[in-house]
Structure 1
Amino acid sequence: MTHEGAPATGGLIVNCLPLTEEERRRFRQAAPEMVQEFTGDDAHRGDMVWPVTVPESLRPLAAAVIGNVDPDTLADYARLQWLQTFSAGADPYLSSPDLAPEVAVCNAAGVYGRPVAEMMIAMMWTLMKRIPDYVRNQSAGAWRDEGSVSSPAGRRALVIGTGDIGSHVAVLARSAGMATTGVRRDPRRSADGVDEMAGFDRLDDLLPRADVVFLAVPSAPGTRHLMDARRLALLKPGVYVINGGRGDAVDCLALAAALHGGRLAGAGLDVTEPEPLPEGHPLWREPRCLITPHVGGGNHLAGTGEAVIAVALDNLRRYAEGRPLLHRLGRDHR
């Protein structure tokens, strides 16, 4: 999505992407009149993590930063006009009181939809086919039939949040034979893979119809504990809950209680509240809960790093030319 109002250009650009020398040359060509400092290391291309470290001497001079800086250091960036994140999520920046309202915050929308959706669908299949039970049996050297399994065919997927990730989930779910219902703020907007769209005001009515609930919402006041004890109780027995968006969308203690009580068939969590999930949390002890450490996105899938670089390079050209930036987030995104 394009947003009008690209900021005035000028000043230092701090680029924290792990770039090769050839890629750095392309960034210099994209903004030849601007000074660029490159702080990323290509040796970390495959394990790109954030927040990145920007030298303290560069922070007061930076008009633009490409990279997920530490939100606690935002007050150091007195001249900042544009922040381009590696990630799709930008919640800590949008909610920070240290970031001036006029600073343009752009994310890497469109890069992580497929890998995160594939992780979420993989979790669904894994739980339905009782793979975790067989992995435990293998570790114990036990040849044991774990009984009946499930199939997505003929079931209904409720996809809460139908942006890039949610739409990819819906497409994959429908290809597996599922009917798909989407939930988004503006139900008048369609999304690929969604058979029917509804607003959040209908969520309580839709939950009892679902066989699998997929959550792909950002972290925001209106989405925190969207799936709490009350809403988990609205689900019919045997439902799967899969969260690949933000950990605080699910009350993890309430989810642990629902799993322990036997009401849910299983839960797959690539994100939790808090992260990392602390030692001793009851979800660690739930055999029907599959937990991964927020690895659905990131740079784990080959080609993701190149896609992030392409987004940042396109926006750098736009910034240098004073054109509207892509994937600019309004403060109401929260």
Structure 2
Amino acid sequence: MNILVVCAVTEAHKAQIRAAAGDNTVVFTAGDLSGTAVPVDVEKLAAAHVIIGNVAPPLLKHAKNLKWLQLNSAGAGSYVAPGVLRPGVFLTNATGAYGVAVAEHLLSQLLMMMKRLPAYCDNQKAEVWRDEGPVEGVYGSTAIIVGFGDIGARFGKALKAMGAHVIGIRRRSTYLVPEASEMGTMDKLVDYAARADIIASALPDTAATRGVFNKNFFAAVKKGAYFLNAGRGTAVDQDALCDAVENGRLAGAALDVTTPEPLPAGHRLWQTPGVYITPHIAGGLHLLHTQNEIVNIGVRNLRAFLAGEPLINEVDFTTGYKK
């Protein structure tokens, strides 16, 4: 069996994968640390029975022998579209690998806004010693985290430890987990918005999540709230977001994701004071912990696949979510 590894890995990771592969052939390519889909030689794709990592979806038509694709991303939306994978091909994702990295990024963005750090950075560049006035804090705040999976729960745990009342929002389940103070569902999202000092999204890109943060949502938000998005840019009406920041409904917004990506020059988001943008780098493979977890998931599944055992993180093709 031919195993093609297309995500960025260290020499130690290669040793792990080779050990799990046994006598099977393993081919490594130069993966990108961004974790995004990469172009791969057509001949290598045609020979592969197993792929570990994200291949640009249009190229998968060449993977005629593919039996299983292990993504290095948690998002699987572009891989469940009709015609991308042949019927019968297993698809698994890397849910569980990104929680630490993205939650830390969200926390840094939130504190950056609350403590007015951009103003102090500007002052330093101008050599100005000036007190920028009152700041906000996490302690005693109410936070709603929309998409309370691995990433959302990690961020919720951090905020709860800092003294926030954390409301986790899921599609359906209201089962209370330790990382939250309260649980809610997506159908009540606008109602929860009125209570929130902090709103964070970790939503994937699905038909049900597109545009949920729209004009009506921002109109219902508690004045002075902070908005963060590390899920997918498609969840946000970006003009409505800019309006909400400009009119003071939001105290600030920090976005690691936009639509489109890359965000083109001249886009309104770039020029809206109070909006802070990072280029989809909260996750990726920038943190070694994340790389380790992705490889651990892949190795565990590789052993299971070769033994004919069930895989973890199998994706449901009808929802795009992990089953």
Shorter-chain TM-score bucket reads over 0.9
The 5 Å alignment of 1:5-24 reads: 11-20=1-10, 23-24=13-14
Q: In the alignment, which residue of structure 1 is the partner of 2:102?
A: 116
1:190: how far off? 3.6
Partner of 2:146: 160
| Aligned match for 2:269, one of 273, 283, 300 | 283
Q: Which has the higher contact order (CA 8 A, sep 6+)?
A: 1
Taking the aligned partners of 2:8 and 2:116, their CA distance within structure 1 comes to 39
> Runs of 5+ in structure 2 lacking a partner?
none
Question: How far apart, in 1, do the equivalents of 2:146 and 2:83 lie?
Answer: 29
Q: CA deviation at 1:189?
A: 3.6
Matching residue within 229, 232, 242 for 2:228: 242
Q: Residue 17 of structure 2 aligns with which residue?
A: 27
Of 71, 88, 91 in structure 2, the residue corresponding to residue 85 of structure 1 is 71
1:135 aligns with 2:121: yes
Q: 1:284 to 1:101 in 2, by over 3 A?
A: same
Pick closer, same or farther for the CA change 1:119–1:23 going to 2, 3 Å: closer
Q: Is the 8 A contact 1:53 1:70 kept in 2?
A: yes
SS of the counterpart of 2:73?
coil
Q: Deviations over 1:152-177 (max 9, x none)?
A: 21110001000000001110111111
Distance 1:292 1:234 in 2: 26
Unaligned runs of 5+ in 1: 1-10
Q: 1:48 to 1:290 in 2, by over 3 A?
A: closer
Shift of 1:151: 1.1
Report the equivalent of 1:8: none
Structure 2 equivalent of residue 197 of structure 1: 183
Question: 2:200 corresponds to which residue?
Answer: 214
* Cα distance, 1:269–1:121 mapped onto 2, change above 3 Å: same
C-alpha separation between the residues in 1 aligned to 2:15 and 2:108?
39
- After superposition, give the CA deviation of every residue in 1:267-286 in whole Å (9 maximum; x if it has no partner): 01111111111111122122
User: Contact 1:163–1:191 (CA<8 Å) still a contact in 2?
Assistant: no
User: What do you get for the CA RMSD once the two structures are aligned?
Assistant: 1.8
Separation (CA, whole Å) in 2 of partners of 1:101 and 1:251:
35
Q: Distance in 2 between matches of 1:160 and 1:114?
A: 17
User: In the alignment, what sits opposite 1:302?
Assistant: 288
Q: TM-score, normalised by structure 2?
A: 0.93
Q: How big is the shift at 1:22?
A: 5.4
Q: CA deviation at 1:131?
A: 0.7
* Residue of structure 1 equivalent to 2:308: 322
Q: 1:32 to 1:225 in 2, by over 3 A?
A: same
Please, which moves more after superposition, 171-180 or 143-152? 143-152
Q: When the two structures are superposed, what TM-score results if normalisation uses the length of structure 1?
A: 0.90
Q: Structure 1: which amino acid aligns with 2:288? A: A
Q: Is contact 1:251–1:273 with CA below 8 Å preserved after alignment?
A: no
| Residue 224 (structure 2) pairs with residue 227 (structure 1) | no
Q: Deviations over 1:182-201 (max 9, x none)?
A: 11012244434111111111
Task: Tell me by how many angstroms 1:57 deviates.
Answer: 0.9
Distance of aligned partners of 1:245 and 1:192 in 2 relative to their CA distance in 1, 3 Å threshold? farther
Residues 24 and 305 from structure 1, CA distance in 2 versus in 1: closer, same or farther, beyond 3 angstroms? same
CA distance in 2, matches of 1:309, 1:316: 10
| Residue 169 of structure 2 is aligned to residue 183 of structure 1 | yes
Where does residue 135 of structure 2 map in the other structure? 149
Aligned residues: 320
Q: Distance in 1 between matches of 2:138 and 2:83?
A: 44
How far apart, in 2, do the equivalents of 1:160 and 1:210 lie?
12
Secondary structure of residue in 2 paired with 1:290: strand
> What percentage of aligned pairs have identical amino acids?
38
